[in-house]
Amino acid sequence: MSTSVKRVYGYLAEFESASALYKGAEKVRDAGFKKWDCYSPYPIHGLDDAMGLRRSILPYFVFFGGSTGLLTGFSLAYITQVIIYPTIVQAKPANIFTTAAFFPIMFELTILFSGFTVLFCLLGLMGLPRLNHPLFASRQFHRSTDDGFFIAVEARDPNFSAEDTKALLEEAGGKNIELVEEED
Amino acid sequence: MAHNVTSKDIPLNGEKIDAKHINRPKFIALIIFIIGAVASAFLFMNDTWKGGFAYSWVFAFMFFISITLGGAFWMILHHVTNSGWGVSVRRLMENLGFVFPFFAIIAIPLMIPSVQNDLYEWMDMHRDITAADVKHNAEVSGEEYVAPSAYAGAGHALHHEAEVTHANGVESDHYAHLLHVKYWYMNLPFWLGRVIGFFVLLGGGIYILRKISIAQDTDPNPGCERLIKARQYSCIIMPIFAVVATFIALDFMMALDYKWFSTMYGVYFFAGCALNSMAVLILTLTWLRSKGYLKTVTSKEHYHIMGKLMHAFVIFWAYVSFAQFMLIWYANITEETSYFLLRNSDQWWVWSLSLPFLHFAVPFVLLLPHYAKKVTKIVVPICIYILIMHIVDLYIAVIAERGPSLTTKAGHPELFVDHAAYLGDIVAFITVGAFFVFMFLRNISSANLYPNRDPRLLESANLHN
């Protein structure tokens, strides 16, 4: 087992504080890295800017998810109550103007579909659920849920190099820089 | 990330608007108001126009008072929730809210009995009965009757009339009975007392909150005392606001048809208040920023939050107004449907039907992307659009009553409007609008543009969301 070749996941660097992480993130961003991430026990205001993250494309999915819900609600009410089986209640019309009664359904389905789109697209975009993460191989990384601030630069990134990236992380203020290898 | 604003960036004595930027619009607004006031006085006294113009005045009054009420709402809410984001735009809310007490001046024409009789059928009927009662008592006792005590008997007289007309088989009996039952609330002295109470209580509250805020601007040792005091006062003023906003809608708009009632009406009016005023706040902020003010303490982030609140109230307005419509439509009870029968027939129907699309769907979709709230070039037209749609909304609510009413008092001619009454609507709208703009600009120029010594100003200036 010890003789097998392990895949390198990337470099993991620890930072002293949230502000050190913030400044370090700006440096890594400016170096042009794409496949990297920050890890912190709590959300840090403005870190997405410092990381140069683009806006999520999730809202566009949600818009179409919600629209689908609206159309589903409308078709459901219209097809059943107007075309297939018109129900006359209190002499109310069975035509397009009956939809007033079905607005709550259209509204609820819009929200339901939007909610589901958010949940499932979010999980899909994040690559969740997953059973393991290569960074869990690092012992010091366990502190990221307690009091540790980390930046991990992945070896998949085209800018990655064994020496330069390490030097960059050191320059950015990273401590305990560790080359994380995936456990087989 | 932009450079962090620190206390060094805030001028010691704050920013005040330069006379060269404000005097000219203020002067123009004043001139328009004076001309409009003269024209309005003529229309109020002209026999052909006065009936229709009374409705125009209520419409203009309600539209602009809804903006001031909304300004007051945002200010009070800001204090109550201990918000930090809007400290740098809070003075704009205070200035907008402080126009409210001055609207007592605009309410004066609505205190005149001859105007009221054209607008509010119930007042007309009350006065008829009081007059009959006075005459009757004078004949019996042979002496002059004192008016107030005569009025106290009006409730009884209404009941009496209901019985008499019922016996005679006259159609309007149950209307008199309605007035009799509603007498404890719908009587002239209480109505007048309420209207005065609205302006004194809420106007006073707004005045106090604004005064606390302005006093901070010149305090050499500014602390948190005023912040806490304003929050404590706001907790008392918030319920007052809720009651005043609701009953202004009830007493001026819903009372146009005393037979109709809706428990949603107050909320419906309030939703419009908050929506409208947020649009006006965004427009004012943009105007001031274009003149070079408020640049250090406000940013795109403020636009984003204000846009989100406006978006929320686009939805809230639709939710409330649709709930009101759907429950009445679904239940189909005669005394409730009259409101929508009137507004969903003839030409009004086109306007009513357009509201869910133009007042809700269009601004809802337009405001969805984040940049639509942040980019001034996009958000300003949307704000103007929302204000225009809200004019339509209140126009339908008020002016529809001017046409032939579905039920009118027996023996009284229906108020058919056969002249171009919409011209009166324009005159009233411009007059009240000019008054509103003048008072708003006066408030803006009378104090610093933002609370420059507020302990939470920097938190607001460095807002990030």
Give the Cα separation of B341 and B348 in Å (integer): 10
The string of pLDDT tens digits covering residues A128-161 is 888 888 888 888 888 888 888 988 888 888 888 8
Residue B268 has which token pair? 């419906």
Mark yes or no for CB contact B332/A46 under 8 Å. Answer: no
**Cβ <8 Å between B1 and A59:** no
Say how far apart CA B178 and CA B235 lie, in whole Å: 37
Sheet (strand A175-181) strand order: A36-39, A149-154, A8-15, A175-181
Instruction: Work out how many CB contacts closer than 8 A connect A with B.
Output: 21
Residues shown for chain A: 184
Q: CA of B182, closest CA in chain A: separation in Å?
A: 30
A71 half-sphere exposure, CB direction, 13 A CA radius = 6
Task: Give A116: exposed, middle or buried? Use CB within 10 Å, 0-12, 13-18, 19+.
Answer: middle
The residue type found at B261 is F
Q: Among all residues of chain A, which has the CA nearest to that of B331?
A: A90
Q: What's the CA gap between B65 and B97, in Å, rounded?
A: 9
Q: How many CB atoms lie within 10 A of CB B63?
A: 24
Compute the distance between CA of residue B131 and CA of residue B108 in angstroms, rounded to an integer.
23
Q: Is residue B10 part of a domain?
A: no
**Looking at B381-423, which runs of residues are DSSP E strands?**
none
Query: Contact at 8 Å (CB) between B303 and B373?
Result: yes
Classify residue B408: in a domain, yes or no: yes
Contacts of A100 in chain B (CB under 8 A): 325-326, 329-330
Integer Cα distance of A103 and B171 in angstroms: 38
ipTM: 0.77
Please, which residues have CB within 8 angstroms of residue B355's CB and are 6 or more apart in sequence? B321, B389, B392, B393, B396
Q: Which of residues 93-132 of A touch B (CB under 8 A)?
A: 100-101, 103-104
Amino acid at B156: H
CA distance B301 to chain A (A): 12
Write the burial class of residue B440 (CB in 10 Å: 0-12 exposed, 13-18 middle, 19+ buried): buried
H or E stretch at B222: none
Angle at A47 between CA A42 and CA A51, to 5 degrees: 130
For A17, the token pair is 């504080």
**Residue B332: what are its φ and ψ, rounded to 5°?**
60, 45
**Taking CB atoms and an 8 Å limit, are B332 and A100 in contact across chains?**
no
**Residue at B465 is within a domain:** no
Task: Quote the domain boundaries for residue B118.
Answer: 22-451
B9 occurs within a structural domain: no
Beta-bridge mates of residue A37: A152
Number of separate helices (H) and strands (E) present in chain A: 5, 4
Please, are residues B405 and B260 in contact by the beta-carbon 8 Å criterion?
no
Task: Tell me whether residue B5 is in a domain.
Answer: no
Asked if the Cβ–Cβ distance from A45 to B369 is below 8 Å, we say: no
Chain A's closest residue to B356, CA to CA, is A100
In a domain? residue B287: yes
Q: Which residues contact B306 (CB under 8 A, 6 or more apart)?
A: B89, B278, B281, B282, B285, B373
The distance of A85 to chain B (nearest Cα, Å) reads 19
Q: Within 10 A of B301 (CB to CB), how many other CB atoms are there?
A: 17
Residue A99: closest CA among chain B residues belongs to which residue? B326
Q: Is residue B159 packed enough to be buried (19+ CB in 10 Å), middle (13-18) or exposed (0-12)?
A: middle
Q: How far apart are CA B431 and CA B37, in angstroms?
A: 6
pLDDT tens for each residue of chain A, 184 residues long: 456 677 888 888 888 888 888 888 888 888 888 888 888 999 888 888 888 888 888 989 999 999 999 999 999 988 988 889 888 877 777 888 777 888 889 999 999 999 999 999 999 998 888 888 888 888 888 888 888 898 888 888 888 888 888 888 888 888 888 888 887 6
Sole residue written with tokens 């690092």? A138
At residue B3, the 3 state secondary structure works out as: coil
Closest CA–CA distance from residue A149 to any residue of chain B (Å): 21
Q: What share of chain A is helix, strand, coil (3-state, %, to 5)?
A: 50, 15, 35
- Residue B464 placed within a domain: no
Where in B196-320 does DSSP place strands (E)? none
Q: How far apart, in whole angstroms, are the C-alpha atoms of residue B428 and residue B158?
A: 34
C-alpha of B423 from chain center: 22
Smallest Cα–Cα separation from B125: which of B412, B447, B441, B420? B412
Nearest to A100 among B326, B370, B464 (CB): B326
DSSP B251: I
Q: Which residues pair with A10 in a beta bridge?
A: A154, A180
> How many structural domains are present in chain B?
1
At A180, give phi and psi (nearest 5°).
-90, 130
Cα–Cα distance, B273 to B250 (Å, whole number)? 14
| Residues of chain B with C-beta less than 8 angstroms from the C-beta of A101 | 326, 329-330
From B270's Cα to the closest Cα of chain A, the distance in A is 22
Mutate to test the interface with B, among A26, A45, A108 (most CBs of B within 10 A): A45
- Is any Cβ of chain B less than 8 angstroms from the Cβ of A6? no
Closest CA to B128 of B173, B81, B176: B176
Residue carrying structure tokens 């059928």: B121
Give whole-number Cα distances, B330 to A53, A90, B111, B262, in Å.
49, 9, 37, 14
Facing residue for B1 by CB, picked from A46, A55, A90: A46
Separation of alpha carbons B267 and B276, rounded Å:
14
d(CA B415, CA B395): 17
- Model pLDDT for residues A9-24, shown as the tens digit of each residue: 888 888 888 888 888 8
Q: Provide the residue count of chain B.
A: 465
H or E element at residue B257: none
Nearest Cα neighbor of B409 from B271, B259, B292 is B259
For the whole model, what pTM was predicted?
0.86
Quick one: pLDDT at residue A90? 76
Token reading at B251 = 């007493």
CB A173 within 8 A of CB A23: yes
Q: How far is B1 from chain A (nearest CA, A)?
A: 7
From the centroid of its chain, how far is CA A80?
39
From chain A, the residues in CB contact with B368 under 8 A are: 59, 63
CA–CA distance, B245 with B254 (Å, rounded to integer): 13
Tokens of B334: 């005669």
CB contact under 8 A, B464 and A46: yes
Which residues of chain B does A46 touch, with a Cβ-Cβ cutoff of 8 Å? 1, 464
Q: Of B16, B19, B17, B37, give the one whose Cα is nearest residue B27.
A: B19
Q: What is the pLDDT along chain B (465 residues), one digit of tens a residue?
A: 456 888 888 888 888 888 888 889 999 999 999 999 999 999 888 887 888 889 999 999 999 999 999 999 999 999 999 988 989 999 999 999 999 999 999 999 999 888 888 888 888 888 887 777 666 665 665 544 444 444 555 556 666 555 554 444 444 456 677 888 888 888 889 999 999 999 999 999 999 999 999 998 888 888 888 999 999 999 999 999 999 999 999 999 998 888 888 989 999 999 999 999 999 999 999 999 999 888 888 889 999 999 999 999 999 999 999 999 988 988 888 888 888 888 887 788 888 889 999 999 999 999 988 889 999 999 999 999 999 999 999 999 998 888 765 555 555 555 555 667 788 899 999 999 999 999 999 999 998 999 988 888 888 888 887
Q: B103 in a domain, yes or no?
A: yes
Query: Phi, psi at residue A55, to the nearest 5°?
Result: -65, 145
Region class of A10: left (phi > 0), else alpha (psi between -120 and 50), else beta: left
